[in-house]
Amino acid sequence: MFAKTYDLSFLLVLFLAGLLLPLVVPICLATYWTWLQRSSTRLSFRPLHPAVVLVVTLAWFWVSLLLTSDPGENNIMLFAWFGFTASLALSWFAIAASAIQIIGASAWTAVRRTIWITIYLVPLPAAAYLVALLAGQEYLPLKARFELSEAAFDRAVIERPLTSLRVGLFQVSKIEDVESCVFLETGGVVLADGFAYCPDGRPTRAMRDSPPDILMYPLNGDWQNAAWWKYEIVESSY
């Protein structure tokens, strides 16, 4: 993703670098710690380093945000996410049980035990709360992801490539004109969900009251002057 998008948006480059750096640091710490402990015990009996917990939690956090910031829902991805989340939750309870054993059996001071257990147990609930908070806002993750990709979308509207391509942080599978708008499908091979560029106003099929065939929402919140819209086709006969 980094290699394919660096030339489209400098802001996107900064975002991807900011995403990767927090993952690199704990991985390096865990690797160094494992190297120091290489001769003391067998690998299978070594305790899990807190950096590993942090890396897995960050991975779950970003995958969750990506899923909540897609215009459409991919059932396969959602199924994989539920499996990932369930496995992570079970692992968290296993770590919690180990933490309780540490409280009773460890010779550490109370302060040290509290800090160590907090490092293990706090990241996942904190990440879950943050995902729920962001997802509860009106299209906030989607808007943020689109803003990082807006320059690439503007370029796609001008160049109009004929094949599917990655546009910023999205995969666009189809581009088609609908009246005076340009619709960019981000899911399958037919127009169903995605983004629409409508500088001259929404198409008539999105203005009906009973109900409209195309549901649209302005990405900048301005219903009168928005150029980019999130859309969803609600009629399969399109």
DSSP output for 64-91: HHHHHT-SS--HHHHHHHHHHHHHHHHH
* Chain segment 27-48, per-residue pLDDT in tens: 777 777 767 766 555 545 556 6
> What is the per-residue pLDDT for 30?
72
Angle between helices 140-159 and 10-36 (to 10 degrees): 120
Percent of all residues in the chain with a pLDDT value above 70, rounded to a whole number: 78
Q: Which residue has the higher pLDDT, 1 or 139?
A: 139
Q: Tell me the DSSP string of the chain.
A: -HHHHTTT-HHHHHHHHHHHHHHHHHHHHHHHHHHHTTTTS-GGGSPPPHHHHHHHHHHHHHHHHHHHT-SS--HHHHHHHHHHHHHHHHHHHHHHHHHHHHHHH--S-HHHHHHHHHHHHSHHHHHHHHHHHHHHSTTHHHHHHHHHHHHHHHHHHHH--SS-EEETTEEE-EEEEETTEEEEESSSSSSSEEEEE-TT---GGGS-SS--SEEEEETTS-TTT-SEEEEEE--TT-
pTM of the model: 0.65
Domain residues of the chain, as ranges?
A: 2-141, 160-233
Q: Which residue has the higher pLDDT, 10 or 160?
A: 160
Q: How confident is the model at residue 182 (pLDDT cuts 50, 70, 90)?
A: very high
The residue behind tokens 């106003």 is 201
The predicted model gives 102-114 an average pLDDT of 71
> What is the per-residue pLDDT for 40?
56
> What is the per-residue pLDDT for 189?
67
> What is the per-residue pLDDT for 4?
47
Is the pLDDT assigned to residue 5 strictly greater than 50?
no
The predicted model gives 52-81 an average pLDDT of 78
